[in-house]
A and B are shown apart, each in its own frame.
Chain A
Amino acid sequence: MPAISGKMEFDTAWSYAPAPENADHIVLKKRYELFITGKFVKPQSGKYFETLNPATGKPLAKVAEGSEADIDKAVKAARKAYTNHWSKLPAKERGKYIFRLARMIQERAREFAVIESLDGGKAIRESKGVDIPLAAAHFFYYAGWADKLNYAFPNTNPSSLGVAGQIIPWNFPLLMAAWKLAPALATGNTVVLKPAETTPLTAMKLAELIQDCDFPPGVVNIVTGAGATGAALVNHPDVDKIAFTGSTEVGKLIRRATAGTQKKITLELGGKAANIIFEDAPLDQAVEGIINGIYFNQGHVCCAGSRLLVQESVKEVIIRKLKDRMETLIVGDPLDKNTDIGAINSQQQLATIEAYLKLGQAEGAEMFQSSCPVPQNGGYWVRPTLFLNASQSHRIVQEEIFGPVLAVQSFRTVDEAVKKANNTHYGLSAGVWTDKGSKIFQMTQKMRAGVIWANTYNKFDPTAPFGGYKESGFGREGGLHGLMPYLKM
């Protein structure tokens, strides 16, 4: 039994001076066009929308709104590039282009990190330490697969599919672009990519790099826009593959829309992961794991550990330590290197989270928020939040909030923990904390989820397959398994 100690010390007597990342070297265009056939072209409708800095609510740039006609143009470009160039290129040469792109992202990593934080609101510490390096690593990993596909799936003689339509979310804009593009290109497909409407800037920067890398025109096309643009891509008859990361709701629409077609689909959807703390866990490490699990990237993470399941015998101490730790988190300017929790991605998402905060209280759960100050500047902020006394049927326990909001439940036995953990429609990820090895394997085997973190949380790597069970979607991204959705076998 762990001893119940006093208040955790975090040297909070020290105050942090502002440490803003220098953004002087960032050059943003006033207006971004569509990237089709290797060129930046105006949208046929002539329409543009604004992308905002969620930390200020102020516009950063205008971005082209792609219509059905633009999607059609992009798909045609991708088809032509596939037929004339990409499918004829020796695989090792294909790989070299992708290697080149990986290197170029590394060279310009700082710039990408700053833009990612400006456009999406995430803390610069995370953009710099997680998003951008992982994006580069993802291209580097898959580049090497291009000429080795025959070793991946024995006896299949795999071949590319053709044109892939890819739709990505706003929580990890460049990283999700990398997760989509890298395996698709390495397996010999050409791509039409639609970035999320609130975070298009790093994708458009990536388009500039793709030009710099001399990719054959049309191999990668990027069409910005909102839901209708994505729908046009999903419904385009000449697309062979749809890869989507986003909400379960939209994932189901895509499944229905592609029913009976030859389109292969992969869906990376929502989650409501249980993060399970046993009494024999290293408790201080577990508290760090809970914090990282739910407050990483403002909780805008499909695999976030948004349900804390804590064994009753240590509940009190864990909650106390957790609250103490929450009090140390800094909410504020995403570009400040000390910031732990940046801005909520959009006003719409802020409204969703706030609605859940009200709902959780109305359902009878007890809300606790850190007392930290938040900027009063027109940006979108939510303090780190947890709900005590949440029960299995509460909507804050069953539904994905996609914000820095943790629902806390307790359990007594291993079986109860497993039952509660698996009792949702989702099955993307889960966390387990215990120092007992046999229990780790017991738990990781019984969890119905695609990614299990034991004594750690929210770790990602290009070599590690990622994806869900049940309504969290199907197909895997990353690793050898991530090649499969882009191959005919």
Chain B
Amino acid sequence: MAKKTLKTAAKPLTKTSNKTAENGHQEAPHTETALAVQKTYKLYIGGKFPRTESGRFFKVNDPDGKLVANMCRASRKDFRNAVVAARKAFGGWAGRTAYNRGQIIYRIAEMLEGRRAQFEAELVQLGSDPKSAAQEVQAAIDRLIYYAGWADKYQQVFSSVNPVASSHFNFSVQEPTGVVAVFAPEEPGLLGLVSSIIPAITGGNTVVVLASEKFPTCAITFGEVLQVSDVPGGVVNLLTGHQKELLSHFSTHMDVNAMIYCGNDPQISITLQTSSADNLKRTVLYPDTDWMTASGASPYFILDTQETKTTWHPVGK
């Protein structure tokens, strides 16, 4: 990613943010007279923004080493709370009509469109160059629209009526696997997050996501977008923290049905697949997907967190 932060990057943040900073961070360099009001980045669980119960944090700095935010360092307990929220939301979300899910995902795109500048600024602040940040936000919006359109179509592509050799009506449909835990891609921070979780929720799953460690701020801001997009609380739960610390908590949790890992650390893949055996989580690995290109979007990403259900009924008088 790019090298130099633009000083102006902080500006749009102060203007568009509607969150009140509750902690006094040190002052950002500023050309205006009014002191910038910085945002406290918290977690997004069950439709609310709680701090981590652990009280721990990790620093995120800009490329010059200047503090951008003290991010919540999510704990096992935070993760478990998020899974409870995700499980609670699952039945309702899976039970929504496909049309309704599609509209809600479209609504996320609408909200993101209006906050374009804020997301670009957050990406630039953490080292992205302005041009690629703009491209990334545009791609994230497009990806949301893409999956919004899939919501009521993938079922028709992947279902089947099966011509069994007996007097039965037989069909197979796709159903969401349940609660999906996700290690989002490290980069691109926003587009990777969108690309790894939207297929799962398009398909009716609920997700608990560990955001990029490098670009965590835009993930939490994306939570704000979700909150005002009619996405029911608990459908998407966003954590920030360390992959290595949370890996075994994610992969051993007995009420998580699947786990997606977007990365290529072989040790993480081994640990994930080994401990996922406890309850036979579906493990989905995307080690080298290029999220910036068209190869980072297809209905097969939706299919990766679907189950096939076959139903039989006799035909007769």
B170-A451 in contact (CB<8A): no
- Whether a CB of chain B sits under 8 angstroms from the CB of A193 is no
Contact with B along A451-489 (1 / 0, CB 8 A): 111111001010111110111011010011100000001
A156-B300 in contact (CB<8A): yes
Q: Contacts A137-B165, A463-B164: A451 and B280 contacting too (C-beta < 8 A)?
A: no
Contact with B along A43-86 (1 / 0, CB 8 A): 00000000000000000000000000000000000000000000
A476-B166 in contact (CB<8A): no
Which residues of chain A are near B308, meaning CB under 8 Å?
A: 450, 465, 467, 476, 481
Residue from the list A137, A267, A453, A479 in contact with B280, Cβ < 8 A:
A267
How many residues on chain B are close to A (CB under 8 Å)?
Answer: 36
A452-B312 in contact (CB<8A): yes
- Whether a CB of chain B sits under 8 angstroms from the CB of A1 is no
B313-A455 in contact (CB<8A): yes
Which residues of chain B are near A454, meaning CB under 8 Å?
A: 311-313
From residue A320, how far is it (CB to closest CB) to chain B in Å? 25
* 16 A–B contacts, CB within 8 A, in A order: A248-B280, A252-B278, A252-B280, A255-B273, A255-B277, A258-B273, A440-B313, A452-B310, A459-B164, A459-B166, A465-B172, A469-B177, A470-B279, A473-B280, A479-B172, A481-B160
B310-A450 in contact (CB<8A): yes
Q: Contacts A463-B163, A463-B164, A479-B162: A449 and B273 contacting too (C-beta < 8 A)?
A: no
- Whether a CB of chain A sits under 8 angstroms from the CB of B64 is no
Which residues of chain A are near B172, meaning CB under 8 Å?
A: 464-465, 479, 481
Interface residues of B in 281-307 (CB under 8 A from A): 282, 298, 300, 307
Which residues of chain A are near B311, meaning CB under 8 Å?
A: 444, 451-454
Contact with A along B158-181 (1 / 0, CB 8 A): 001011111010101000011000
- Beyond the given A255-B274, A450-B308, could you list 10 further A-B residue pairs with CB under 8 A, ordered by the A residue number? A137-B165, A154-B157, A259-B272, A454-B311, A454-B312, A455-B314, A464-B170, A465-B160, A476-B308, A481-B172
A453 vs B280: C-alpha distance when bound (angstroms): 24
- Whether a CB of chain A sits under 8 angstroms from the CB of B257 is yes
A461-B273 in contact (CB<8A): no
- Whether a CB of chain A sits under 8 angstroms from the CB of B81 is no
Which residues of chain A are near B300, meaning CB under 8 Å?
A: 153, 156, 489
Query: Which size class do A's interface residues fall under?
Result: 35 or more
A181 vs B279: C-alpha distance when bound (angstroms): 28
A449-B309 in contact (CB<8A): yes
Name B's A-contacting residues (CB within 8 A).
157, 160, 162-166, 168, 170, 172, 177-178, 257, 266, 269-274, 276-280, 282, 298, 300, 307-314
- Whether a CB of chain B sits under 8 angstroms from the CB of A376 is no
A453-B312 in contact (CB<8A): yes
From residue B260, how far is it (CB to closest CB) to chain A in Å? 14
Pick the most buried of B165, B178, B274, B280: most chain A CB atoms within 10 A of its CB. Answer: B280
A153 vs B158: C-alpha distance when bound (angstroms): 8
- Whether a CB of chain B sits under 8 angstroms from the CB of A378 is no
Which residues of chain B are near A305, meaning CB under 8 Å?
A: none
A154 vs B300: C-alpha distance when bound (angstroms): 10
A260-B309 in contact (CB<8A): no
Pick the most buried of B266, B271, B309: most chain A CB atoms within 10 A of its CB. Answer: B309
A474-B282 in contact (CB<8A): yes
B280-A251 in contact (CB<8A): yes
Pick the most buried of A156, A464, A470: most chain B CB atoms within 10 A of its CB. Answer: A464
Which residues of chain B are near A476, meaning CB under 8 Å?
A: 308
Which residues of chain A are near B164, meaning CB under 8 Å?
A: 459, 461, 463-464
- Whether a CB of chain B sits under 8 angstroms from the CB of A425 is yes
- Whether a CB of chain B sits under 8 angstroms from the CB of A256 is yes
Which residues of chain B are near A473, meaning CB under 8 Å?
A: 280
Total inter-chain residue pairs, C-beta < 8 Å: 111
Q: Which residue of A lies closest to B266 (CB)?
A: A260
A158 vs B72: C-alpha distance when bound (angstroms): 43
Pick the most buried of A154, A451, A469: most chain B CB atoms within 10 A of its CB. Answer: A469
Q: Contacts A461-B162, A474-B282, A479-B162: A255 and B307 contacting too (C-beta < 8 A)?
A: no
From residue A148, how far is it (CB to closest CB) to chain B in Å? 14
Which residues of chain A are near B168, meaning CB under 8 Å?
A: 456, 459
Residue from the list B269, B270, B271, B314 in contact with A456, Cβ < 8 A:
B314
A259-B273 in contact (CB<8A): yes
A456-B312 in contact (CB<8A): yes
Pick the most buried of A258, A259, A471: most chain B CB atoms within 10 A of its CB. Answer: A259
Which residues of chain A are near B282, meaning CB under 8 Å?
A: 474
Pick the most buried of A156, A253, A452: most chain B CB atoms within 10 A of its CB. Answer: A452
Q: Which residue of A lies closest to B172 (CB)?
A: A465
From residue A110, how far is it (CB to closest CB) to chain B in Å? 20
Which residues of chain B are near A438, meaning CB under 8 Å?
A: none
From residue B36, how far is it (CB to closest CB) to chain A in Å? 46
From residue B254, how far is it (CB to closest CB) to chain A in Å? 9
Which residues of chain A are near B178, meaning CB under 8 Å?
A: 448
B298-A155 in contact (CB<8A): yes
A465-B277 in contact (CB<8A): no
From residue B101, how far is it (CB to closest CB) to chain A in Å? 16
Which residues of chain B are near A154, meaning CB under 8 Å?
A: 157
Which residues of chain B are near A451, meaning CB under 8 Å?
A: 309-312
Q: Which residue of A lies closest to B160 (CB)?
A: A480
From residue A136, how far is it (CB to closest CB) to chain B in Å? 11
Which residues of chain A are near B277, meaning CB under 8 Å?
A: 252-253, 255-256, 259
Q: Which residue of B lies closest to A255 (CB)?
A: B277
Which residues of chain B are near A252, meaning CB under 8 Å?
A: 277-278, 280
Q: Which residue of A lies closest to B313 (CB)?
A: A454
From residue B158, how far is it (CB to closest CB) to chain A in Å? 8
A256 vs B164: C-alpha distance when bound (angstroms): 36
Residue from the list B162, B269, B307 in contact with A469, Cβ < 8 A:
B307
A137 vs B166: C-alpha distance when bound (angstroms): 12
Q: Which residue of B lies closest to A463 (CB)?
A: B162
A465 vs B310: C-alpha distance when bound (angstroms): 6
Which residues of chain B are near A444, meaning CB under 8 Å?
A: 309, 311
A64 vs B298: C-alpha distance when bound (angstroms): 48
A463 vs B169: C-alpha distance when bound (angstroms): 12
A233 vs B157: C-alpha distance when bound (angstroms): 35
10 interchain residue pairs of minimum CB distance: A260-B270, A259-B273, A461-B164, A255-B277, A259-B274, A463-B162, A252-B277, A464-B162, A454-B313, A452-B311
Which residues of chain A are near B166, meaning CB under 8 Å?
A: 459, 461
A269 vs B277: C-alpha distance when bound (angstroms): 13
Which residues of chain B are near A156, meaning CB under 8 Å?
A: 300
B280-A464 in contact (CB<8A): no
A88 vs B250: C-alpha distance when bound (angstroms): 43
Pick the most buried of B257, B279, B307: most chain A CB atoms within 10 A of its CB. Answer: B307
Contact with B along A409-425 (1 / 0, CB 8 A): 00000000000000001
A459 vs B169: C-alpha distance when bound (angstroms): 12
Which residues of chain A are near B278, meaning CB under 8 Å?
A: 252
A260-B269 in contact (CB<8A): yes
A450 vs B280: C-alpha distance when bound (angstroms): 15
Q: Which residue of A lies closest to B298 (CB)?
A: A155
